[in-house]
Amino acid sequence: MFNLPQTLHCDFTINCKRCGENIPAPVATMPDSWIAAQCPLCGEKRSYLPSEIFQRKLSYKLGARPARSRLI
């Protein structure tokens, strides 16, 4: 198995409410109250409860490189 995308690991992740992708939670430890996070993929800023924060692999889209634009 060659050329497979590497999985990204993060201590705490959240599932974006808009695009549905797993993104890193902006916390170092499990919080006691809600947090606000902005999705790096769709740009949506939302609030998340502690019950919505979990330990799981990040979306592969976070590691994808943007397509190169063609110069004319």
Residue 45 inside a domain? The answer is yes
pLDDT of residue 67: 55
* pLDDT band, very low/low/confident/very high, at 64 (cuts 50, 70, 90): low
pTM over 0.85: no
Cα–Cα distance for residue pair 57/72, rounded to 1 Å: 39
At residue 71, does pLDDT exceed 60? Answer: no
Q: Which residues form the domain of 20?
A: 13-62
Per-residue pLDDT of 3-43, as tens digits, reads 555 556 678 999 999 999 999 999 988 999 999 999 999 99
Residue where the block lists tokens 């590691």: 63
Number of domains the chain contains: 1
* 16 neighbors 42 (Cβ within 8 angstroms): yes
Residue 56 inside a domain? The answer is yes
Cα–Cα distance for residue pair 53/30, rounded to 1 Å: 8
At residue 62, does pLDDT exceed 70? Answer: yes
